[in-house]
Structure 1
């Protein structure tokens, strides 16, 4: 067994969302250094290095031609994006990091935020658009303003949303302060209730949002977990949730990953280990790197222990994993936001137990990344020796992930076994854990043996469609490695 020491993701929460770097007077020198770091880091680690002509190993053989090549780009980020394989199509995932301290904090659920997730819906043929609240973080500006899941908004900063202005007005959601106009709905008519102005602050978001046991679903005990991100500093919280499920001797488990865009590979393996004790210490996933880093290839196994971290992501101990022995299948609630490490759990468990998906098609991300720093002496993996003149880094895709059977073909996402589109119930979005919440009800009804998907729940109308919102954080669909996880 070898420890993956070169692949280091260090998280420091020392000065929230404030870079400790100052601009260097010699801007040209710093830019040249960053460009050199971008090319050489990508040349070494990038998953599709051999598919990108400008990442050829001979590109830097002639120093003057190499310098001229680097100098043609206006910014290091432009260079980085030019090196992405089929940018936006095959590689939809790599990104350039402006400030890695901010990025590291966001990986642990620490961000400057309203504490809200929205869904935009065109509700009729007249072009009217609303936002409904999908999620509210605890102890956030939104929760402190008594904003609730299911609340409906029809105006932002005083402008009522429609198909003509949506693309411009929705950008106000990404400002520091926003005023939201709330309405109620009755037979398609929206009635204004109140306006609420919220300002973003630092939010610490616990991804273990809700753990609940339904005691009598057709005579069965059903565990239900809303889990919103694979964040290693909350490993002990998710283990505690499974302690409850284990003590209750649940018969079925519903894992709600609708808002879970991924995160730590190690935490993903821990969660899978909690779900299926019968997997023993078998292979959960295999990772494959490019031809320059085949020494990093290896398997992640199911395990009986997990690492515990504090808020600064410093390891403080270990715990025995609470592995379930009373279930023989898994229900997963999914959406287009279910990505990366979430899909890794689905894919990794499929060879071991039946996995039934309820919701909409998942995102489709079977690759993962590491953070690369401007530290050439470590092959760009050592944060401690990074160039002190700037805080740029990269988060390129560097490995592909496979399950025990060698399956990795889900770039188009996993298709649900039972399709339920939450936005079609936009005027009746219930709290997580409510038995009549549309997507959860479909899973519970399947456990009951009902043939209908959502029973008597009524859709808002047939003339509606969901609209896209850009993510509030780049890392929302991420899968990354940490420094102390072992490969066999």
Structure 2
């Protein structure tokens, strides 16, 4: 992911952001200095969270007066950092607000930042997982296959089911280790489905993870000519700004084909770049750069330091590479979204709502309305990751944290959708009839087409076996379901 970080921090801000400098944290006489060295990851986590975290004021352990700058306070701080030897557990148990479902950490910042660019170690299989209603057993069903991956070379496709891995039946207790453990290769034990029954079969599919797999999120774009309507259809699987030009090209094709109605399929899109969300929304609605798309809300330390231009994003007329945005100028859009649609996907729905009629087809979305920033152990960079400052990152600490630092409001000031955005037309996927990508008979796509054309026909959209997921493969990727702020951030004022 492209990173734009322009930090102009005064001494006052640095002292506020990092309440205790390295000198401040030198233990007083009589206290062994080694614990500080042993817990430098926890030290970095606390300092970054104390300044940037959206709920800093609501977490007692992050209070500004928690550890006074006295010998006793420094000793208490050191003891607090050492109270949990595992940095990940320290982050989760000591620093997070009780209602925060999305902040996370990584023990390798390089792996995390590569994931933001659509690069990962993966076999290319994306799938949902569901628990059997009468046991602790679990089964998976294939969402889609990433092109040019190992899975793309194997006999496996959308809608296929599996109930085991390496001969072991999947359960709620073992599916994480079997599917998302350290094993680069595993064999799926496949299954059949008929009459609401899932039955293991003898088929096996062996998959191997590839280093550096690149996924273009512009998965499918096509135009339908149905009943005199030119309908554009786009399956977009992640807001990855490395592929904004591909996204713009897809809309250029829609424009050239005189598309008058748009179906945007975000059913498996967990989010990503805020800037890509702005661009996508501009491609749908328009390039009116004086119309507000979103306004940021930060904690009380950050909010006063940001100018109005920093806190707002308007619809865009060109991409970051300078290409004119190909816009359809629509007054209505049909968006397919499910419980697996989150963050930047929800941002598009919420951001467009004040301007055009957004018809949401599918399920209630995940409910993630906050954005995050990647933070690493770079004191002088105010802990914000910047690829140009990698040499300044503490070589003894390769950890990164991805905390929620703000919330996006739409032009009407609305951001309260922690319970998710509810659909206008509720329709779940059907395990017995997932359908093929781009097939106008695929149920969710067919329902959107029906809404556009007004032709009801005799088709029933009754769901035989709902595909509502317990979790999915993307939730175990490095990126998960994050909304990433990727615009220049200028802090020019100090907080006294």
Please, which runs of 5 or more residues in structure 2 have no aligned partner? 9-32, 492-496
Aligned length: 447
Helix, strand or coil for the counterpart of 2:112? helix
Mapped partners of 1:476, 1:39: distance in 2: 23
Alpha-carbon shift at residue 388 of structure 1 (Å): 1.8
Aligned to 2:449: 444
Mapped partners of 1:123, 1:458: distance in 2: 21
Aligned to 2:186: 178
Tell me if 1:251 matches 2:260.
yes
Aligned to 2:407: 400
Aligned to 2:315: 302
Alignment of 1:150-189 (within 5 A): 150-161=159-170, 165-169=171-175, 171-174=177-180, 175-187=183-195, 188=197
Alpha-carbon shift at residue 75 of structure 1 (Å): 2.2
Moved more, 467-476 or 226-235: 467-476
Structure 1 residues 284 and 200: alpha-carbon distance in aligned structure 2, compared to 1, 3 A threshold: same
| 1:362-382 Cα deviation digits (max 9, x unpaired) | 000111111112122232125
Mapped partners of 1:122, 1:80: distance in 2: 30
- Checking the alignment, whether the CA contact within 8 Å between 2:342 and 2:481 is kept in structure 1 is yes
Helix, strand or coil for the counterpart of 1:445? helix
Aligned to 1:19: none
Aligned to 2:398: 391
- Checking the alignment, whether the CA contact within 8 Å between 1:152 and 1:427 is kept in structure 2 is no
Q: Which has the higher strand share?
A: 1
Mapped partners of 2:109, 2:465: distance in 1: 45
Structure 1 residues 369 and 467: alpha-carbon distance in aligned structure 2, compared to 1, 3 A threshold: closer
- Checking the alignment, whether the CA contact within 8 Å between 2:244 and 2:276 is kept in structure 1 is yes
Helix, strand or coil for the counterpart of 2:367? coil
- Checking the alignment, whether the CA contact within 8 Å between 1:223 and 1:252 is kept in structure 2 is yes
- Checking the alignment, whether the CA contact within 8 Å between 1:141 and 1:201 is kept in structure 2 is yes
- Checking the alignment, whether the CA contact within 8 Å between 1:159 and 1:169 is kept in structure 2 is no
Alpha-carbon shift at residue 129 of structure 1 (Å): 5.2
| 1:324-360 Cα deviation digits (max 9, x unpaired) | 13x3201100011111011111111000000011111
Mapped partners of 2:238, 2:443: distance in 1: 22
Helix, strand or coil for the counterpart of 2:301? helix
Mapped partners of 2:335, 2:117: distance in 1: 23
TM-score, normalization by structure 1:
0.85
Structure 1 residues 281 and 330: alpha-carbon distance in aligned structure 2, compared to 1, 3 A threshold: same
Mapped partners of 2:60, 2:200: distance in 1: 58
Alpha-carbon shift at residue 158 of structure 1 (Å): 1.8
Aligned to 2:93: 82
TM-score, normalization by structure 2:
0.84
Aligned to 1:314: none
Alignment RMSD (CA, Å): 2.6
Tell me if 1:206 matches 2:216.
yes
Please, which runs of 5 or more residues in structure 1 have no aligned partner? 8-25, 308-316
Structure 1 residues 189 and 79: alpha-carbon distance in aligned structure 2, compared to 1, 3 A threshold: closer
Mapped partners of 2:164, 2:44: distance in 1: 45
Tell me if 1:138 matches 2:112.
no
Alignment of 1:323-472 (within 5 A): 323-325=327-329, 327-381=330-384, 383=386, 384=389, 385-422=392-429, 425-450=430-455, 455-456=459-460, 459-461=463-465, 466-469=469-472, 471-472=475-476
Aligned to 2:64: 57
Mapped partners of 1:405, 1:169: distance in 2: 43
Mapped partners of 2:109, 2:428: distance in 1: 36
Structure 1 residues 382 and 6: alpha-carbon distance in aligned structure 2, compared to 1, 3 A threshold: farther
Structure 1 residues 482 and 124: alpha-carbon distance in aligned structure 2, compared to 1, 3 A threshold: closer
Alpha-carbon shift at residue 33 of structure 1 (Å): 2.3
- Checking the alignment, whether the CA contact within 8 Å between 1:84 and 1:91 is kept in structure 2 is no
Structure 1 residues 458 and 360: alpha-carbon distance in aligned structure 2, compared to 1, 3 A threshold: closer
- Checking the alignment, whether the CA contact within 8 Å between 2:36 and 2:78 is kept in structure 1 is no
- Checking the alignment, whether the CA contact within 8 Å between 2:236 and 2:266 is kept in structure 1 is yes
